[in-house]
Amino acid sequence: MSGAEGNGFGRRRFLAVGGGLAALAVTGCGSNTGRASSGSSSGGKPTLSQWYHQYGEPGTQQAVQRYAKEYPDATVTVQWSPGDYDKKTASALLTDGGPDVFEYGNGPSIDMIKGGQVVDLTDLLGDAKSDFTPSLIARMSYQGKLYGIPQVTDMQLLVYRKSVLSAAGVQPPQTVDELLAAAKKLTTAKMKGLFVGNDGGVGILGGPALWSAGLDYLKDDNTFGFDDPAAVESLRKLRELFTSKSLLLGAPTDWSDPSAFTQGLTAMQFTGLWTFPQIQKALGDDFGVLPWPKLNASTGAPSVPVGAYASSVSAKSKNVDAAKKFVKWLWVDQTDKQLDWAQSYGFHIPARKSLIEKADKLKSGPAADAARFVNENGHAQTPLLWTPKSGTAYSDALNRIIKNGSDPATEIKAVKAVVEAELKRIAG
Amino acid sequence: MSVSAPARGPITTRLRGRYDRNLWFAVFVGPFVLGLLVFVYIPIVWSVVLSFFDAHNTVTPSKFVGLSNYLDMIRDASFRSSLATFVLFALFIVPTTFVVSLGLALLINRARFARTFFRSVYFLPTACSYVVASLVWKLSIFSGVRFGLMNTVLGWFGIEPIAWLSVTQPPWYWLVIVTARMWLQAGFYMILFLAGLQRISPSLYEAAAIDGAGGWKVLRFITLPQLRATSTAVLLLLLINAFQAFDEFYNLLSSSGQYPPYARPPLVYLYYAALGQGQDFGHGSAGAVILTLLIALVALGQNRVLGLGRRED
């Protein structure tokens, strides 16, 4: 799709959107699907294909291949997918050439579940259920059934340079107003105060802005959650931040990469837990962590977004039972592999409480703080019923509020209309 | 061959044709027709079919919804605004690229030395991937930090760094998109114009010179009329390209799984709606059909005015 056929004729690009996908489905993609030969057995063992997105950390691919090889009851082939994994997987699930077992960010989407593309995994957890982070299990369940098993917890949080803050006489901010003041004070000719992504926070602050005002995407009864003056106030603060000239914009790397922070382009950055090894290497102990602060002294609470890649089983698999057994073996039974996966390569928090206690890297310093935030301030990135269409409506609104200065109250009303139509579609 | 011909049944013989011409025709053309059918025509038809169904997460839908996908797309303010933006974008980019590439072609055609060199220099960007060019534009030339190329230049004049792709007031992102597109495309159309220019008979210019015509007059009364076929083709290609804009937009402006609501080409909007986690093929296909119709309409209208394929007089 994002190739370089700039000078083609109409039908070529038209195809790329509408029909290209159908073609993909018709021909079953034709490419290597990760299975040796679909459904066949080698030496009496079933054959399974397992898909992962490309993890950035060295050693991860070898690790998952090793796990797959050690599984005694099936021949598991791992497909490691660089590029746009979500879209690739979603399309492959429509075909017979898709994976048997695959991971998906925050579990399968509501439309995958409603479309019957993934199978119910509720019975795999058994006694271990209470050991998994409850917010993650809740996020991956629909109508009491579990569709994904969390592999590892990821989170986003605010990191700051201790030395820079103390040199400027700034205390770690506890409210959004303090954060704005701190960012302003920390901004110099060479360093900006805060970095929340090159889009000014549109991509990652949508959730924290609501939680910090004591609200959420949806209410507990699955109705629209932020038609509220506090949300208006909170979104207005993001606009204020954008126009304050203390925000780093147009950096060579985005929020998910620590380079802007480690290279001294910014004093504070909202980023992911996975950047810790690089930050520690560059700055040693000279950094601290905070959750996104609450709106003001009287409203809201600090928050951090929490997400997880989860392992799911495709309903089109020819060996659903064998696939379920493999998922249970790897992501429920083999706790040493789960700990290895969370700790040995990148920097993640295990998805199970008993393993968090065993994780040496989480026992002290900023990492221990981060693990504490997950339990005390963690929110699932977006609710299961928050569909991509709702997501687009909200990020469009955030763009207009933050970048153009549109009135948040009007924009929230527009989002509400889209979200309510989507909720109705799902319920119907 | 004719020796063994009588042994065959008359029908097979007739089917294979004289000297097996039909057979060879099938052998050479068949695979391509098959490929075209499987990868182009069936998907197009399929996409049209999908546009009449509720097709969330499936390409074999069962719930027929009639025209409601089309109505939804037409009522969708975001889709309408993406279409409107792109009509404006086309109105700007088509004439600009046309003039620039024609200008380059005229200059190079008259160059007295290093003609091949200049021709290659201007054509080379065409060989560059849109994705790579977008990254160069985004990360190096129009990077928002003070050491980005443009900001360094501005810095010499004491102007503060501009976050080119992040701000919307003023909409600097258009500057980034348009320059990237011009750099990538102008060379290709320049080559088309050059080919057209070289087909013009020198005797026309000689006659004009004898009549005392020069400069603008030659351009206006000889070069441009003679280039009409090329110009029409170039305009059509430019127009289709403008509506199909995707690569550089997507790579310059998308971030963290979202694309801003401004400068959003229809294809990018449909991409987010139909692919990704959206997987809403019904609405996506309906949008694609609307877009195709729009392109066809505009192209037909343009043909009426300019006349592609009309015999040159």
Yes or no, beta carbons of B42 and A23 under 8 Å apart: yes
CA A56 vs. chain centroid, Å, equals 15
**Is A99 domain-assigned?**
yes
Yes or no, beta carbons of A10 and B261 under 8 Å apart: no
A with B: how many residue pairs have Cβ under 8 Å apart?
217
Residue A19's CATH number: 3.40.190.10
Tens of pLDDT along B168-194? 888 899 999 999 999 999 999 999 999
Q: What pLDDT, on a 0 to 100 scale, did the predictor assign at position A186?
A: 95
Do A298 and A413 have their domain in common? yes
- pLDDT over threshold 70, residue B233: yes
| A contact test, residue of B236, B277, B297 with most A CBs within 10 A | B277
Q: What pLDDT, on a 0 to 100 scale, did the predictor assign at position B309?
A: 57
- pLDDT over threshold 50, residue A37: no
Task: Of A210-219, A305-314, B244-253, give the lowest mean pLDDT range.
Answer: B244-253
**What sign has the CA pseudo-torsion B78, B81, B85, B90?**
positive
Do A413 and A295 have their domain in common? yes
Which whole number is the average pLDDT over A292-313?
92
| Nearest CB partner across the interface for B169, out of A7, A109, A404 | A404
**Is A353 domain-assigned?**
yes
Do A289 and A414 have their domain in common? yes
Residues B258, A395 contacting (CB under 8 angstroms): yes
Do A137 and A126 have their domain in common? yes
Q: What pLDDT, on a 0 to 100 scale, did the predictor assign at position B5?
A: 46
- pLDDT over threshold 80, residue A328: yes
**What sign has the CA pseudo-torsion A354, A359, A363, A366?**
negative
Spatial CA neighbour of A348 closest among A383, A378, A289, A307: A307
Tens of pLDDT along B252-296? 988 777 888 888 888 888 888 776 667 788 999 999 999 999 888
Residues A347, A184 contacting (CB under 8 angstroms): no
Q: What pLDDT, on a 0 to 100 scale, did the predictor assign at position A36?
A: 46
| A415 vs A393: CA distance, rounded Å | 6
- pLDDT over threshold 80, residue A304: yes
Do A292 and A262 have their domain in common? yes
**Is A84 domain-assigned?**
yes
Do A387 and A256 have their domain in common? yes
B positions 251-280 inside 8 Å of A (CB): 251, 255-258, 260-262, 267, 270-280
Q: What backbone phi and psi angles, to 5 degrees, belong to B232?
A: -65, -45
Q: What pLDDT, on a 0 to 100 scale, did the predictor assign at position B8?
A: 56
Do A148 and A257 have their domain in common? no
Which whole number is the average pLDDT over B205-226?
86
Which whole number is the average pLDDT over B150-163?
90
Residues B285, B274 contacting (CB under 8 angstroms): yes
Which whole number is the average pLDDT over B58-62?
82
Q: What pLDDT, on a 0 to 100 scale, did the predictor assign at position B254?
A: 84
Which whole number is the average pLDDT over A9-30?
40
- pLDDT over threshold 60, residue A352: yes
Percent of residues, chain A, with pLDDT higher than 70:
90
Which of chain B's residues have a Cβ under 8 Å away from the Cβ of A13?
244, 246, 267
Which whole number is the average pLDDT over A78-87?
87
Do A249 and A166 have their domain in common? yes
Q: What pLDDT, on a 0 to 100 scale, did the predictor assign at position B303?
A: 77
Tens of pLDDT along B95-110? 999 999 999 999 998 8
- pLDDT over threshold 50, residue A64: yes
Residues in CB range of B166: below 8 A, 6 or more apart:
A198, A199, A200, A249, A250, A403, B144
| B182 vs B136: CA distance, rounded Å | 14
Q: What is the mean pLDDT of chain B?
A: 86
> What is the number of domains present in chain A?
2
| A114 vs A13: CA distance, rounded Å | 30
Do A165 and A261 have their domain in common? yes
Q: What is the mean pLDDT of chain A?
A: 86
Do A374 and A410 have their domain in common? no
Whether chain B has a CB inside 8 Å of the CB on A191: the answer is no
Other CB atoms within a 10 A radius of the CB of residue A77 amount to: 20
CA A130 vs. chain centroid, Å, equals 22
| B219 vs B216: CA distance, rounded Å | 5
Distances (CA, A) of B14 to B23, B25, B27: 10, 14, 16
Range of the domain at A422: 155-305+383-427
- Pure H helices in chain B: 10-16, 21-36, 42-50, 68-75, 77-110, 115-123, 130-136, 149-156, 173-199, 202-210, 216-218, 224-226, 228-243, 247-253, 266-274, 281-306
Do A112 and A26 have their domain in common? yes
Both structure tokens of B164: 């080119």
Yes or no, beta carbons of B256 and A403 under 8 Å apart: no
Q: What pLDDT, on a 0 to 100 scale, did the predictor assign at position A33?
A: 46
| Nearest CB partner across the interface for B255, out of A17, A87, A254 | A254
| A147 vs A115: CA distance, rounded Å | 13
B positions 218-257 inside 8 Å of A (CB): 237, 240-241, 244, 246-247, 250-251, 255-257
- pLDDT over threshold 90, residue A227: yes
Q: What pLDDT, on a 0 to 100 scale, did the predictor assign at position B307?
A: 66
Whether chain B has a CB inside 8 Å of the CB on A249: the answer is yes
**Is A349 domain-assigned?**
yes
Whether chain B has a CB inside 8 Å of the CB on A348: the answer is no
| A contact test, residue of B123, B238, B275 with most A CBs within 10 A | B275
CA B238 vs. chain centroid, Å, equals 6
Which whole number is the average pLDDT over B21-36?
90
Do A264 and A291 have their domain in common? yes
Whether chain B has a CB inside 8 Å of the CB on A230: the answer is no
**Is A2 domain-assigned?**
no
Which whole number is the average pLDDT over B164-171?
87
- pLDDT over threshold 70, residue A30: no
